[in-house]
Amino acid sequence: MNETVPLSAIPHRPPFLFIDEVVEVDEVRIVTRWVADPRAPFFAGHYPGRPVVPGVLLCECCFQAGALLLATKFGGFDGAEGIPVVTRIRDARFRRMVLPGDALTVEVVLDDALDEAFDLTGRGSVGEELAVRVSFACMRIKEQNP
């Protein structure tokens, strides 16, 4: 993880963390990388004998990169300051399967911000091939007790 963007900046943790490395970050854009570990438990059931990363997890890769981008703007998230929560998913498109061992490069751009609401666009690629593109919105909300 890039030392300027610590893991503690977002609330995600293994085994549900889909960022291995921050490649680049600025005010409105982040690039991350995640390698689909062939030992990940979801591969056993999706699809047995022909494992593929579920599309929802490809979207999650974009959501987590977006949360990390926003964390760089706000100095991290904690329960008092609020946590990032996806509020809308628009136009998710899948172009290429992501297989065990593939390295997914995710680019997320902050398109718009209004108070605590943010519109972002994410793209995940394996090499030069687009795997997922998703537009989404999230909000920073106060953490509630379970």
CATH number at residue 36: 3.10.129.10
Does 12 participate in catalysis according to the annotation?
no
Pairwise CA distance, residues 94 & 58, whole Å: 9
Quick check: 134 and 125 in contact, CB under 8 A?
no
146 located within any domain: no
Q: What values do phi and psi take at 30, rounded to 5?
A: -135, 145
The number of folded domains in the chain is 1
1 located within any domain: no
| pLDDT per position as a tens digit, 97-139 | 999 999 999 999 999 999 889 999 999 999 999 999 999 999 9
| pLDDT per position as a tens digit, 76-94 | 665 556 788 999 999 999 9
Domain span at residue 120 reads 7-141
43 located within any domain: yes
Annotated catalytic residue: which of 12, 33, 46, 96? 46
2 located within any domain: no
83 located within any domain: yes
